[in-house]
Amino acid sequence: MQNHPYVVAVEKTLKQFFEKEIISAPVNSMTPFVVIRPDDRESYIFVAKCERWIYEPLLEKSIADRVKTRVKTYTEGTSLIFGFDIEPDISLESEIPKDKIKGFLKRLKEEEYLTIVVMDHITLRIIWMANDIPFWKVKHKFNPLFEAFGV
């Protein structure tokens, strides 16, 4: 996957604009970054900086391979936890602090597809990514959450 032109471009962009944040992010967790898409819309890219034992099941996957991914949210204290469960047994999560939840959900509500990138925690090379997770199919399940936070 690392040699695919699209993956190379995404990796270059992430390092160009977010390298300091990625380096300082906790290992084995996920960070949402806001990017401007070609159509000038703001969108999230969820970047997980992981150790090999977490991403190992994804090593043989290509960008064209379909990997079952489930979007999840729950609250922990005053924070919102947003994440993905990726088959066979990978759980990636990001903690959204109370003061940022409404803005996060407002942007998330506008998403049709979600992008997730899994990087090696040392080399910061992309191990796996999916830019076509169809959030529009499950967005309605998040309506109670959007409503609870006035989004």
- In angstroms, the CA 43 to CA 55 distance is 24
Phi, psi of 143 (to 5 degrees): -55, -40
Percent residues over pLDDT 90 in the chain:
81
- In angstroms, the CA 120 to CA 114 distance is 20
pLDDT tens-digit readout, 53-86 = 999 999 988 888 889 999 999 999 999 999 999 9
pLDDT tens-digit readout, 84-115 = 999 989 999 999 999 999 999 999 999 999 99
How many independent structural domains does the chain possess? 1
pLDDT score of 4: 84
pTM of the predicted model as reported, rounded to 2 decimal places: 0.92
Instruction: Give kind and range of the element (H or E) at residue 19.
Output: helix 5-24
pLDDT score of 1: 63
The strands making up 90-96's β-sheet, listed across from edge to edge, are 69-76, 79-86, 90-96
Task: Report the chain's mean pLDDT, rounded to a whole number.
Answer: 93
Q: What is residue 119's three-state secondary structure?
A: strand
35, 43 contact by CB (below 8 A): yes
Q: Is residue 33 pLDDT above 90, yes or no?
A: yes
pLDDT score of 41: 86
- In angstroms, the CA 53 to CA 121 distance is 11
Q: Is residue 121 pLDDT above 90, yes or no?
A: yes
The strands making up 29-36's β-sheet, listed across from edge to edge, are 29-36, 42-50, 114-120, 126-133
Q: Is residue 15 pLDDT above 80, yes or no?
A: yes
Q: Is residue 147 pLDDT above 70, yes or no?
A: yes
Q: Which of 141, 150, 151, 32 is nearest to 95 (CA)?
A: 32
**Residues spanned by the domain of 28:** 5-148
